[in-house]
Amino acid sequence: MELALSLGDTPKPFSLLDHHTNISLSQSQQQQKMKDLGFCMGLGNKTNIQDLHFNNNMSSSKDKTDDDTCKKLDESKSSSSSSDPSPPPLQLDLLPFTPVLRSPPHSTGLSFPWLSKNVIVEPGSQAKQIKVHDVKPSTILSDQETREDSSPNNSNSQTSSFQMDFASILKNGRKRDLELAKTSLELVEISNCSRGMSDEDENGLTRKKLRLTKEQSAFLEDSFKEHSTLNPKQKQALAKQLNLRPRQVEVWFQNRRARTKLKQTEVDCEYLKRCCETLTEENRRLQKELQELRALKTTQPFYMQMPATTLTMCPSCERVATTTTHTATVSPRTQQPANSTAIDTSIKMSNMSSC
DNA sequence: CCCCTGCGACTGGTTACTTCA
DNA sequence: TATGAAGTAACCAGTCGCAGG
């Protein structure tokens, strides 16, 4: 037993709900005027739901996951028998045709747990009039998460995902969201067999802190060592293998990258700190040496008459030739060398073809 | 009981890419 | 066909808050 979803301005967009056969939304149907957006849910068995096929032309490279889902649905469709003698499914025309969705328990319409508090559809209202309020941030999943939470392990988040999709669809009326909501709806009724259900209690109000098991963490660590980033397929595979939601895998890798970067930053900082200490020590030594030289200058005033030493380096062989000249320059006013150093030592880069 | 740390999860911003008018 | 707006996904930096030591 699963759910089907349709958007459109016709009261019965699901032909299969009348004939148990084919739910095929043509492209023209998808491109209906969204301002008159309606929302229709079909409740039927899986065979019927798998007949639900959406022509999605928005096939960007990043939509492979969704495309895969569509493929799986198509495969299931082809493998399933069209002559399934299942009981007729139930169709719910929610908006704006039949305002059956009401949160108060005493209302005449049907109520859904995921909409009981946050989304109220008022009778006769248009889709735009749906009120979304008191939504805890933790219960609102991003579009991305909605997409990725379409794993079989995510029945709890699927509720939130559907909640988000529902509001999003009604707000934006996008074809993509149509398909996303379809996927979410399809997965809502899958049994809660994973730890993902422990994220929230039965009231759906609190989110328990999830701790990955050692095995999961180790597996993720190994995967991270192989590649620090994941493509959608890898993410899906990892999530399936670890019985986690793809969003959890993605978050884990994001946090892991952040921690790796932080650790690397700490290492770099430590290295730079040591370099700084070394340079400080070197600077201190050179300063001390300079002071000694200056002291030597004051105690030995005739030092400037010492011959200057000229170092000449051969650019080819880098040999340094030392020549002693008597070209030490002394300032006539200060009786000090023109430069601040006591010994005029220069390295001349010259052509020394003779060496 | 309080504090600290680790970490899962979320939010807002940025960027690259795709689609469409 | 070129182009800009809009949408989307992925990523990152920062932060929150829970759980365990």
Angstrom distance, A229 CA to C21 C1': 31
Average of pLDDT values for A90-116? 31
CB A52, CB A4: distance < 8 Å: yes
Beta A90-95 vs A308-313: how paired, if at all? unpaired
* Residue among A142, A146, A148, A140 nearest A231 (CA): A148
For A109, the token pair is: 């319409």
Question: If you write DSSP's letter for every residue of A261-320 in order, what string do you get?
Answer: HHHHHHHHHHHHHHHHHHHHHHHHHHHHHHHHHHHHHHH-GGGGGSPEEEEEE-TTT--E
Confidence label for A266 from pLDDT (cuts 50, 70 and 90): confident
Rounded CA gap, A209 and A91, in Å? Answer: 38
Residue A314 is predicted with a pLDDT of 64
Beta strands in A38-89, from DSSP E residues, in sequence order: 39-44, 53-54
State which of A2-6, A242-246, A328-332 shows the largest mean pLDDT.
A242-246
Rounded CA gap, A137 and A199, in Å? Answer: 14
Tell me which nucleotides of strand C come within 7 A of a protein CB. 7-15, 17-20
Check pLDDT > 80 for residue A290. yes
Contacts 24+ apart (CB under 8 A), A331-336: A335/A301, A335/A304, A336/A297, A336/A304
CB A145, CB A247: distance < 8 Å: yes
Residue A175 is predicted with a pLDDT of 35
Average of pLDDT values for A238-266? 90
Q: Rounded to whole angstroms, what are the CA distances from A97 to A86, A118, A244, A249?
A: 27, 21, 38, 40
Average of pLDDT values for A232-238? 90
Residue A208 is predicted with a pLDDT of 54
Domains of chain A by start residue, with CATH = 2-207 (no CATH), 211-300 (1.10.10.60)
Strand C closer than 7 Å to the CB of A261? Answer: yes
Three-state DSSP string of A135-181: CCHHHCCCHHHHHHCCCCCCHHHHHHHHHHHHHHHHHHCCHHHHHHH
Residue A210 is predicted with a pLDDT of 76
Strand C closer than 7 Å to the CB of A77? Answer: no
3-state DSSP call for residue A246? Answer: helix
Angstrom distance, A57 CA to C1 C1': 22
The neighbouring-strand residues paired with A324 are A309
Rounded CA gap, A214 and A220, in Å? Answer: 10
Residue appearing with tokens 């016709």:
A10
Give the pLDDT confidence of A12-39 residue by residue, as tens digits.
333 333 333 333 333 333 333 333 333 3
Check pLDDT > 90 for residue A41. no
Q: Check residue A349 and report its DSSP letter.
A: E
Beta carbons within 10 angstroms of residue A4's beta carbon: 25
**What average pLDDT is seen over chain A?**
50
Portion of chain A with pLDDT greater than 90, in percent: 11
| Nearest nt by C1' to A175 Cα | C7
